[in-house]
Structure 1
Amino acid sequence: MHHPHSTTRPQAPASARRRTGRLAGAAAALAALVGLGTLGGPGAHAADNPYERGPAPTTSSIEAARGPYAVSQTSVSSLAVTGFGGGTIYYPTSTSDGTFGAVAVSPGFTAYESSIAWLGPRLASQGFVVFTIDTLTTVDQPDSRGRQLLAALDYLTERSSVRGRVDASRLGVMGHSMGGGGSLEAAKTRPSLQAAIPLTPWNTDKSWPELTTPTLIFGADGDTVAPVATHAEPFYNGLSSRLDRAYLELNGATHFTPNSSNTTIAKYSISWLKRFIDNDTRYEQFLCPLPQPSLTIEEYRGNCPHTS
């Protein structure tokens, strides 16, 4: 496991001594000094990974209802955007840690943004900008929802009031049901996406060998709308075996379990987004070795160790 404090302590004075006048060197020294000064606060992140945000994680920190960052939010009217239906942007209030990775989240068939809104503050408080969206209509199919997720990310990074807080090179997508199918479509269309998390996804396309985005698929053992045998499991099996991929089947769950606050969904989504959007290997411990069946996990499959 990566321990940022064990590396930053000796590095800080060394970095200070090796001033080269280059901005990168100064930034690395500052990051190390900030890490020392806060002793594990939100600003502490190792100089060798500039994308790390927040203190070293623990099981309790990724299961918590809120992470280390205070969260603000702003509403985006459907009248102010094109290509999707507007939504709500949740973001860390402080700018002291620089930019953050971002994720757009789509609701499912016949559903509105409110059905996935709990993910906004839950994920943003861990150090992400999160855009929960409405779709153009509630009956949009997965391919349309995929395009809308990408339109939302483009708005977020190019036009939104918080665009200066977002690192446009570190983006991901999530979605429920048809929105989950849409997250697969978005990753297929835009390979530069760093993470995809379909939640009890539905799609008529069952195989995704072309995806290069690290993908975590959530299924539910009691799903009768998008049964895992015909949706989540084939989607996972259809991903390249060379891809960083995982399948988590929720125990005692239904198709609509992702529509309300869920600790298992949150902890593994946070770990996946941190690991692949932020390249934060401090979260690898929660993904490898593979989680074992439990009261909330029926089954977990995946590749370990991760390659990217």
Structure 2
Amino acid sequence: MQHPRTSTTAPAHRPRPTRRAGRLAALAASVTAVVGLTMLGGPAAHGADNPYERGPAPTESSIEALRGPYAVAETSVSRVAVTGFGGGTIYYPTSTTDGTFGAVAVSPGYTGTQSSIAWLGPRLASQGFVVFTIDTLTTLDQPDSRGNQLLAALDYLTERSSVRNRIDSSRLGVMGHSMGGGGSLEAAKSRPSLQAAIPLTPWNLDKTWPEVKTPTLIFGADGDTIAPVATHAEPFYATLPSSLDRAYLELNGATHFTPNTSNTTIAKYSISWLKRFIDNDTRYEQFLCPLPRPSLTIEEYRGNCPHTS
């Protein structure tokens, strides 16, 4: 931008600008520049505001895709190499150019092994997360034990694993199916610093969760006869603090075991929730607010909008 030529001598009738006026003019110019960059979608639009954004701007098709923008590698963790849980598989983005990533531990349900929730590993990791699908100490472990095991898995990920340097230990979440879903609520209750919790058709004898301070998305299934929504997912959601960022998505035409196979609706809203609350990435708010409407795959969706954190 060219500046007008100025005279070296100010006219006698024009007062010399004060130092305060000069500072105000500089401030106005700075504000104008920032506004201009923001309107143009320049660097100030996202990068400076949120250092945790990962990947390109999302679209409906990008969060429904089987794979996201990141190439993914995996590594197995033997149960004899860890304490507090049964080992598992770590899925992680191979990129080392985008800084650290948030991490999520995922527990299977009663009598299940990590193979029952393995599809979530590469699908979530390819969107920019380190994902640890775990085996439990025994397949019969109850939700409180599974909650402790999810936390032990996160501690292993951030402190001892081969990918610990790829993880931001302040940006962690938990997921789980059935008793593992009940375990994810237990983990969130025990560790309020968690950034996101996603119980999938959860089961737990404890029906009230007013202590949870972690943004929580609960998936129920309209055809669930093992953990019926009326006695599990719905009261779990209803007893979360009303001030909490929370949501309840009831899958249409689904069963208790729907989360055990690749499911676009589960993936789409899980990715959006994890991005929104682990990465603080408000680009994903569009998929959560306004609240999704009933559809062929969604029986019901409840939640608070706009989100507060």
After TM superposition, the score normalised by the length of structure 1 is 0.87
**Residue 283 (structure 1) aligns with:** 284
Question: Cα deviations across residues 92-116 of structure 1 (Å, max 9, x unaligned)?
Answer: 0011001000000000000000000
Question: For the residues of structure 2 that align with 1:10 and 1:264, how far apart are their CA atoms?
Answer: 30
| 1:184 lines up with 2:164 in the alignment | no
Question: Cα deviations across residues 240-270 of structure 1 (Å, max 9, x unaligned)?
Answer: 0000000000000000000000000000000
CA shift for structure 1 position 149: 0.1
Contact in 2 for aligned 1:8/1:47 (Cα 8 Å): no
**Residue 157 (structure 2) aligns with:** 156
Question: For the residues of structure 2 that align with 1:286 and 1:130, how far apart are their CA atoms?
Answer: 22
**Residue 195 (structure 1) aligns with:** 196
**Residue 29 (structure 2) aligns with:** none
**Residue 275 (structure 2) aligns with:** 274
Question: For the residues of structure 1 that align with 2:214 and 2:155, how far apart are their CA atoms?
Answer: 18
CA shift for structure 1 position 120: 0.2
CA shift for structure 1 position 10: 7.1
- CA 1:196/1:288 → structure 2, altered by over 3 Å: closer, same or farther? same
Query: Would you say how many aligned residue pairs link Structure 1 and Structure 2?
Result: 274
Deviating beyond 4 angstroms after TM superposition, the runs of 4 or more aligned structure 1 residues are: 8-12
Question: Cα deviations across residues 79-104 of structure 1 (Å, max 9, x unaligned)?
Answer: 10000000000000011001000000
**Residue 246 (structure 2) aligns with:** 245
Corresponding letter in the other structure for 1:302: G
**Residue 18 (structure 1) aligns with:** none
SS of equivalent to 2:74:
strand
Corresponding letter in the other structure for 2:261: S
Q: CA RMSD in A?
A: 1.5
Contact in 2 for aligned 1:7/1:46 (Cα 8 Å): no
**Residue 147 (structure 1) aligns with:** 148
Question: For the residues of structure 1 that align with 2:57 and 2:142, how far apart are their CA atoms?
Answer: 39
Q: How does 1:81-92 map to 2 (within 5 A)?
A: 81-92=82-93
CA shift for structure 1 position 7: 3.6
Question: For the residues of structure 2 that align with 1:65 and 1:144, how far apart are their CA atoms?
Answer: 32
Question: For the residues of structure 1 that align with 2:301 and 2:63, how far apart are their CA atoms?
Answer: 18
Question: Cα deviations across residues 195-238 of structure 1 (Å, max 9, x unaligned)?
Answer: 00000000000000010000000000000000000000000001
Structure 2 unaligned segments of length 5 or more: list them. Answer: 1-36
Question: Cα deviations across residues 102-134 of structure 1 (Å, max 9, x unaligned)?
Answer: 000000000000000000000000000000000
Corresponding letter in the other structure for 1:112: T
SS of equivalent to 1:57:
coil
The structure having more radius of gyration, on CA atoms, is 2
Contact in 2 for aligned 1:106/1:180 (Cα 8 Å): yes
Q: How does 1:1-308 map to 2 (within 5 A)?
A: 7=38, 12=43, 46-308=47-309
Question: For the residues of structure 2 that align with 1:9 and 1:299, how far apart are their CA atoms?
Answer: 38
Corresponding letter in the other structure for 2:145: S
CA shift for structure 1 position 11: 5.2
Question: For the residues of structure 2 that align with 1:7 and 1:277, how far apart are their CA atoms?
Answer: 24
Question: For the residues of structure 1 that align with 2:41 and 2:91, how far apart are their CA atoms?
Answer: 36
After TM superposition, the score normalised by the length of structure 2 is 0.87
**Residue 10 (structure 2) aligns with:** none
CA shift for structure 1 position 48: 1.4
Structure 1 unaligned segments of length 5 or more: list them. Answer: 1-5, 13-31, 36-44
Corresponding letter in the other structure for 1:57: P
